[in-house]
């Protein structure tokens, strides 16, 4: 049973926030860092408090640390050595393996993301601008009380209009798919509850949306440390146990979206609006406006299907569309979750929980490209950075050998210069060549998201 009262809410509950701020933090000394952690603990929402949806309890604060941050707070070298190598090294040090070269190289990253002084991130979510300002002000008060802690950089996140559903700057509907974890109860409308005991259930319909997928629910140990994973055993945990139990890793990725280049591409490859929408859908694997999956609706968008949480994830690739005639093998969704495809022996070992949102100004449909910095800033939650996040990025997104395509993921791939996409068609494949990159990696880091007891442990270190 997941210890919901100890787990930070971030990966389990999804508050209805349209606005957020990430504060990236540096500690100048251990004492100040620990004081700051201690002051913030009561503001951190647990899975239980946020899932219970008490309207007066809108503490959507999350707190996570880099390996350098744990070291700075005074975790012993012996204990630090028990954390996995990927986390110890950090994302910037692993750039070559992740395909972050050329324009995507950490030398070009923003917000001091590649700096060794990056120690922590505070994620402040809010329902609206006023609420966010209140959170930011409150956090500033904590910082004023602890002079040895400073903000290294901040990133403002705002939902892209129109706000009737979540989408990113290219216009794709997002937040459709998320792994279902054993113990989650899915209601008739796709709402999620987490069973907190044999009888007791906390219902949280307005907080999360997920839907039954084509694979079985995941074991909790795929996302939270201290629980059995898909192999049936509890993997070795970093020590001491109080620090790691109920924790998760967050792989952060900030990607600029070149909306002008993307829209030009659609216009160059589709004469009519319908054709352009089909090209956009082929790149993603889902229709842009509704998220309806191409496997289930290959020729035209289907609003009812897209918004039906019982059906919009209930499909497979190998069995239903082996050649990719409906959903191209190289499309983003098909690469990021290969479902029943044979490249995956046990799919539930490669899942991530996606969190985050969009930053930068909205570019209206008819506006000329203004070159502004806009994109997504996302956290991939998992229990094993290397097996889950890094595998997705280095192999499924970036390895040209993936399914012998000689291509990279059109969105999550690190593309420096021209690239290609294949849209399988009977009787011949259609290969679009010399495309300009739609995205650029602008930052990244690995964080550890501890449980509440672990936060207390960090605050109490000597």
Residues 348-407 close enough to bind ligand HEM by CB under 6 A: 352, 354, 375-376, 380, 389, 392
In this structure, what token pair is assigned to residue 309? 């949480």
Q: Give the count of beta carbons closer than 10 Å to the beta carbon of residue 369.
A: 13
Q: Which stretch binds ligand HEM (CB under 6 A): 15-23, 68-76, 173-181, 426-434?
A: 173-181
- 3-class secondary-structure state, position 104: helix
Q: Are 327 and 294 in contact (CB under 8 A)?
A: yes
Q: Among residues 117 and 191, whose Cβ is nearest to ligand HEM?
A: 191
For ligand HEM, how many residues bind (rule: CB under 6 A)? 27
**Given the complex with ligand HEM, which of 35 and 408 has the nearer CB atom?**
408
Q: How far apart are CA 133 and CA 122, in angstroms?
A: 14
Among 26, 177, 209, 210, binds ligand HEM (CB under 6 A): 177
Cβ distance to ligand HEM smaller for residue 59 or 263:
263
Phi, psi torsion values for 64, nearest 5 degrees: -140, 160
Closer residue to ligand HEM in complex, CB, 106/375:
375
Residues contacting 63, CB < 8 A, separation 6+: 8, 37, 40, 44, 120, 121, 122, 123, 449, 450, 455
Q: Which is nearer to ligand HEM, 118 or 336 (CB)?
A: 336
Helix (H, G, I), strand (E, B) or coil at 272: coil
Residue 17 engages ligand HEM in binding (rule: CB under 6 A): no
Pairing of strands 149-158, 19-27: antiparallel
Tell me the closest approach of the beta carbon of residue 6 to ligand HEM, in angstroms.
26
Instruction: State the Cα–Cα distance between residues 188 and 250, nearest whole angstrom.
Output: 30
Are residues 92 and 113 in contact, defined by beta-carbon separation less than 8 angstroms? yes
Tell me: does residue 170 bind ligand HEM (CB under 6 A). Answer: yes
Chosen residue from 174, 277, 308, 403 binding ligand HEM by CB under 6 A: 174
What region, left, alpha or beta, does residue 265 occupy, with left being phi > 0 and alpha being psi -120 to 50 degrees? alpha
Closest approach of ligand HEM to the CB of residue 339, in Å: 7
Q: Give strand pairing partners of 449.
A: 248
Query: Taking CB under 6 A as the rule, does residue 290 contact ligand HEM?
Result: no
Gyration radius from the chain CA atoms:
21
E strand residue ranges, 209-364: 248-257, 353-359
Residues within window 92-131 making contact with ligand HEM, judged by CB under 6 A: none
C-beta closer to ligand HEM: residue 192 or 255: 255
Binds ligand HEM (CB under 6 A): choice among 118, 124, 176, 449: 176
Of the residues 337, 388, 398, 440, which one makes contact with ligand HEM according to CB under 6 A: 337
Cβ proximity to ligand HEM: between 26 and 209 the closer is 209
Cα–Cα dist 328/331, whole Å: 5
Query: Looking only at residues 58 through 77 of this chain, which bind ligand HEM when binding is defined by CB under 6 A?
Result: none
Distance CA 114, CA 112 (A): 6
- Rule CB under 6 A: is residue 135 a binding residue for ligand HEM? no
Q: Which is nearer to ligand HEM, 46 or 256 (CB)?
A: 256
- Rank residues 142 and 362 by Cβ distance to ligand HEM and give the closer one: 362
Q: Is 14 in the site for ligand HEM (CB under 6 A)?
A: no
Q: 57: cis peptide before it, omega within 30°?
A: no
Residue 408 and residue 397: Cα distance in Å, rounded?
Answer: 6
Q: What is the DSSP letter of 160?
A: P
Q: What's the min distance (Å) between Cβ of 262 and ligand HEM?
A: 9
In the region spanning residues 433 to 462, those forming contacts with ligand HEM, defined by CB under 6 A, are 439
Give min distance, CB of 379 to ligand HEM, in A. 9
Among 92, 95, 336, 347, binds ligand HEM (CB under 6 A): 336
User: By the criterion CB under 6 A, which residues form the site for ligand HEM?
Assistant: 168, 170, 172, 174-177, 253, 255, 257, 284, 286, 291, 332-333, 336-337, 352, 354, 375-376, 380, 389, 392, 411-412, 439
């Amino acid at each position: 049973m997941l210890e919901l009262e100890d787990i930070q809410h971030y990966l389990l509950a999804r508050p209805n926030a349209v606005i957020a701020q990430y504060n990236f933090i540096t500690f100048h000394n251990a004492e100040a860092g620990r004081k700051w952690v201690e002051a913030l603990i009561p503001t951190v929402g647990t899975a239980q408090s946020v899932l219970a949806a008490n309207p007066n309890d809108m503490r959507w604060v999350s707190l996570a640390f880099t390996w350098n941050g744990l070291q700075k707070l005074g975790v012993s070298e012996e204990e630090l050595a028990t954390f996995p190598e990927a986390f110890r090294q950090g994302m910037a040090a692993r750039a070559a393996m992740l395909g972050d070269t050329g324009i995507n190289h950490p030398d070009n990253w923003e917000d001091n993301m590649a700096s060794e002084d990056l120690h922590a991130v505070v994620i402040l979510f809010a329902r609206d601008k006023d609420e966010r300002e209140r959170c930011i002000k409150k956090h500033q008060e904590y910082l004023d009380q602890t002079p040895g802690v400073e903000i290294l950089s901040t990133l403002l996140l705002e939902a892209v209009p129109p706000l009737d559903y979540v989408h990113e700057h290219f216009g794709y509907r997002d937040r459709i798919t998320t792994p279902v974890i054993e113990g989650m109860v899915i209601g008739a409308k796709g709402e999620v509850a987490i069973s907190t005991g044999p009888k007791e259930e906390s219902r949280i319909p307005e907080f999360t949306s997920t839907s039954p997928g084509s694979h079985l629910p995941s074991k909790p140990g795929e996302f939270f440390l201290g629980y059995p994973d898909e192999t049936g055993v509890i993997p070795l945990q970093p020590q001491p146990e109080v620090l790691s139990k109920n924790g998760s890793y967050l792989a952060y990725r900030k990607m600029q979206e070149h909306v002008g280049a993307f829209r030009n591409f659609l216009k160059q490859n589709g004469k009519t609006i319908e054709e352009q929408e089909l090209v956009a859908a082929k790149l993603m694997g889902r229709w842009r406006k509704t998220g309806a999956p191409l496997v289930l609706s290959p020729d035209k968008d289907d609003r009812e299907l897209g918004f039906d949480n019982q059906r919009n994830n209930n499909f497979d690739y190998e069995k239903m569309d082996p050649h990719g005639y409906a959903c191209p093998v190289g499309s983003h969704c098909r690469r990021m979750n290969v479902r029943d495809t044979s490249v995956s022996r046990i799919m539930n070992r490669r899942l991530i929980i996606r969190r985050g949102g969009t930053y930068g100004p909205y570019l209206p449909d008819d506006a000329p490209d203004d070159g502004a910095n806009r994109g997504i800033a996302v956290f991939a939650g998992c229990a094993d950075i290397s097996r889950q996040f890094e595998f997705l990025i280095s192999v499924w997104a970036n390895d040209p050998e993936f399914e012998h395509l000689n291509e990279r993921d059109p969105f999550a791939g690190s593309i420096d210069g021209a690239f290609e996409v294949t849209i399988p068609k009977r009787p011949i494949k259609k290969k679009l060549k010399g495309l300009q990159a739609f995205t650029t990696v602008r930052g990244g880091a690995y964080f550890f998201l501890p449980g509440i007891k672990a936060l207390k442990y960090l605050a109490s270190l000597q």
